[in-house]
Amino acid sequence: MTTELLKVSNLKQYFPIKGGILGRKINDVKAVDDVSFYVNAGETLSIVGESGCGKSTTGRAILRLDEPTSGEISFNGKDLLALNKREMRKMRKDLQIIFQDPYASINPRQTVRQVLNEAMEIQNVLPKEKREDRMMELMETVGLGAHQLDRFPHEFSGGQRQRIGIARALSVDPKLIICDESVSALDVSIQAQVLNLLKKLQRELDLTYLFIAHDLGVVRHISDRVIVMYLGKIVEIADKKSLFDNPKHPYTKTLLSAIPVPDPTKKKDQIILKGDVPSPIDPPTGCRFHTRCPFATDKCKEEIPELRTSEINMAAGHQAACHYIEEIESGEMTPNY
């Protein structure tokens, strides 16, 4: 039986734009606009999409690193948005994040020992006399050595720094870790090592991941379910196999067509979209993808599509926000590329 660990309902994250002499608000950047999903305990849910689609902002809003504009966030049955600062700080023991840049996310003036000890001290995880053993154990867990505890960040490679970031997240025994583009800054070979480490730790420590990425190859390797976002909205959500084998939304099909094929003799038809991503300050009406969608009609310009399941060749739990799932699937509508 699966247990729902995190539930996000109607989350909005708007950033005000101010102008004029008095600095009054003149508009909003609608970074995340009415997003809802859940994460089950022990699973990896990935969020993918182009840069600027709102995936990292969603992760930061869940942790309240940026205060959400509106919506509901429930973690383990507790309303995170109802907590004051002190209560939220305690809650962060169970909610950790691994940042994208391993060079900027660690204090360069602290040794690894100080980095790990600071996290445990803030959350009061262990008595002082037991922290040394815990730090040595963490270093071994992430593939580093206890002899490296007194080194500074500049003495490590990018992959090693990311391992230190993982060790810091694990130091407080979290239940959910948000991996915000946690391997995108690493070389491909190092990416594989870190991904395999994350999967290994998930099995051994019963961790839950919200994995934010733009690399669909990485997402396919690590995910259980996948959310596809476009311009602050969820356009498709499904289990990994269903999404990669049978995508429904035109935008998802475009993303999947861009995955490189390792065999140079094998040809692959890539879908090239017309135009640029619209501004989140003034997003299109109706379906936000209609300005670039090869199937768009007047209905798409006027009505916002709901996330729904089609009766045609669609697995349970697979939902897409498109008015014409059935017509596209049956071939009644043809693309205008």
What's the pTM? Answer: 0.92
Quick one: 219 and 317 in the same domain?
no
Question: Which residues are within 8 A (CB) of 272 and not within 5 positions of it... i.e. 6 or more apart?
Answer: 337
Per-residue pLDDT band for 1 (boundaries 50, 70, 90) equals low
Number of domains in the chain: 2
| Average pLDDT over all residues of the chain | 91
Quick one: 79 and 215 in the same domain?
yes
Nearest to 318 by CA among 249, 270, 254, 259: 249
Question: Which residues are within 8 A (CB) of 166 and not within 5 positions of it... i.e. 6 or more apart?
Answer: 98, 142, 194, 197, 198, 201
Query: How many residues does the structure list for the chain?
Result: 337
Of 111-120, 144-153, 272-281, which gets the smallest average pLDDT?
272-281
Quick one: 111 and 196 in the same domain?
yes
Quick one: 218 and 256 in the same domain?
no
The pLDDT value recorded for residue 156 is 93
Nearest to 170 by CA among 206, 220, 218: 206
Range of the domain at 318: 252-337
Contact 42, 199 (CB under 8 A): no
Per-residue pLDDT band for 262 (boundaries 50, 70, 90) equals confident
Quick one: 227 and 306 in the same domain?
no
